[in-house]
């Protein structure tokens, strides 16, 4: 598999993950499937996972190349000093052009995340950037970084991500060839204090769905 490396230094690698590829090795039914971290290790040697993207999502993701860099970049994510923006196609029409979803999330035994009073604080911000047939194209920024945060939050307000068979109605979502969630921008300060900004255009599969939906 050809790797799309967006930025590479001695401390980190920013890669553009394709939809359908695991970020790191998984257990259960996905055990043994190729993962991005493993592919990067074959090319760069030592690689440390800093954060994750869902298997069916695509886009930018940071990996550290040293233990010190792993501590530093993991710290940036913990203190929310990384700007993360996503393009998302969500079901339904939005009344407001901008909004926030401030709902605590908790993982259930099924692996799904759901809104719960005793969950972890989770904040998602969104802006409508395009109107589609029965859907909307959103630019989403996550202030926190919970598992499935965007998917669970949008589902909780009645706007599941297109192609999301886990949270949306399976019959309706199965007609989409992929999860319509793409990490398009990462901005952060590297270990020297320099601001790094990386962007990634959505892949052809993402754009083809938008074209069918009239964007």
The set of catalytic residues is 54
CA distances (Å), origin 200, targets 9, 26, 79, 149, 213: 18, 25, 24, 21, 21
DSSP result, 87-136: EEEEES--SSSEEEEE--EEE-TTS-EEE-TTSB--EEEEEEEEEETTEE
Dist CA 144 CA 122 (whole Å): 6
Is the separation of the CB atoms in 134 and 94 below 8 Å? no
- Nearest Cα to Cα of residue 13 among 144, 186, 214: 186
**Residue in the block written with tokens 């993991």:** 74
């Amino acid at each position: 598999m050809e790797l799309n490396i967006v930025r590479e230094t001695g401390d980190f690698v920013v890669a553009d993950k394709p939809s359908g590829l695991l970020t790191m090795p998984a257990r259960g039914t996905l055990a043994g499937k190729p993962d991005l971290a493993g592919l990067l290790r074959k090319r760069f040697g030592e690689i440390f996972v800093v954060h994750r993207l869902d298997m069916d999502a695509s886009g930018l993701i940071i990996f550290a190349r040293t233990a010190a860099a792993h501590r530093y970049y993991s710290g940036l994510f913990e203190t929310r000093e990384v700007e993360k923006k996503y393009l998302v196609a969500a079901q339904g029409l939005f009344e407001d052009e901008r909004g926030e979803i401030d709902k605590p999330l908790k993982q259930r035994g099924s692996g799904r995340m759901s809104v719960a009073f005793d969950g972890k604080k989770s904040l998602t911000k969104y802006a409508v950037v395009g109107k589609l047939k029965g859907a909307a194209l959103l630019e989403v920024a996550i202030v926190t970084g919970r598992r499935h945060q965007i998917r669970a939050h949008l589902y909780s307000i009645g706007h599941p991500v297109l192609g999301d068979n886990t949270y949306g109605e399976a019959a309706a979502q199965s007609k989409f060839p992929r999860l319509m969630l793409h990490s398009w921008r990462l901005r952060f300060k590297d270990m020297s204090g320099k601001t790094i900004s990386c962007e990634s255009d959505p892949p052809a599969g993402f754009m083809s769905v938008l074209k069918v939906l009239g964007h």
